Structures are given as structure tokens and as C-alpha cells.
Amino acid sequence: MRNLVKIAGMSVLILGLAACDGKTDDKAAADKGAPAASAAAATVPVSLLEGKVTFALPQGMSDQSGKLGSQANNMHVYADSTGQKAVIVILGDNTTESLDVLTARLQDQQKARDTNLQVVTNKSIQVNGQTLQQYDSVISSAGQKAYSSIVLGKVDNHLMTLQITLPADNQQQAQTDAEAIINTLKIQ
């Protein structure tokens, strides 16, 4: 439960940072004409829990863990330079509750904060033979919409929460970008 509250809090923080940015993203407009293949090919590998959890981030995202608050070492934050794109990984205490129960609780918490919450998907996924729960939604904060993809799983006696937050201006693109990160997820 405490981990889910952390996730929700970090989502609001990331959305708040993006909303307060105040800059127009002319670079994003210029990049629309760039070939998609080159963006997909450039990735940054991430390894956690001594290699038991690995995934790849798109180029341009870097480790911001020490820059956003003073959380314990079990939280890892990766973001782009604007703060609009972020991946947060929390390796919390294990729980006896099932992943679908945790996801339902997370959804209830999001609905309490955002009456316009749009649930995109809530499903079980398989990663290296382990069952994880994926919960995707479009959330609003300060007039900004963000696509949020959260993957919950039990790894090495930890509850792993991986949250991908992206601008939802183009929901289909945000969903594709989030899936690209999730597809690189490996658990040993």
C-alpha cells in the first residue's frame, strides 16, 4: 500500500514538473519528421537488483534518482531533460496481496484524484515466465494529460513497480512508446 502511494505521489510530481515547465517544445515539433527507426534503435540499458531486472530506455532519458527528493535507494527515477517523460522504478517490500488486488487499489486511488481518469488496459502479462500486472491509464493534473503505464511484479522478494509516464498529446504514440519500454523488460 505504501508503495502504491509513493507511485501516485511521484506521478503527480512528474506531472506537476511538466505542467510548470512553461516551455513550448519546439524540438518535439521538429522531431516529428525524424525517422522512427533511428529513435527506436537508440536505447539506454538499465540493470537493477544485480541484473535481476533489466530494461532499456529511449535515448535522451537519464538517471535522475538523486535529483528528485531524498527517497531511499529502492527508488530509481529516469527522465528526459524536460521532465515530461519519466520512468520510475520502486523496489519495495514484498506483499502477500495479489497483483490484481494491488492494481485495483491503485485504480481506486487514481479515480479519487482524477474524475476524468481513462483506464486503457488492466491485464496480466508474461515476462520471462513470470506473471506481472500491467495497468495503463490517461491521467490529468493541472490541465495536462499524461499517459501512465504501470507494471507490478514480485521479483527477488520485492514488489517491483515500474511506472512509465509520457505526455498524452498523442495517446497512440504514448502507448506505443510505453510498450516499447515494457517489451525490453527482462526478469531473472
pLDDT tens profile 28-82: 333 444 444 444 457 899 999 899 999 999 999 999 887 655 445 588 999 999 9
pLDDT over threshold 80, residue 7: no
What's the whole-model pTM score?
Answer: 0.76
Residue holding cell 506537476?
A: 16
Q: What is the spatial distance between Cα 65 and Cα 59, in angstroms, rounded to a whole number?
A: 17
Q: What is the spatial distance between Cα 59 and Cα 56, in angstroms, rounded to a whole number?
A: 9
List of domains in the chain: 2-187 (3.40.1000.10)
pLDDT value, residue 42: 77
Based on DSSP, count helices (H) and strands (E) in the chain, helices before strands: 5, 10
The neighbour count for residue 44, using CB atoms within 10 Å, is 14
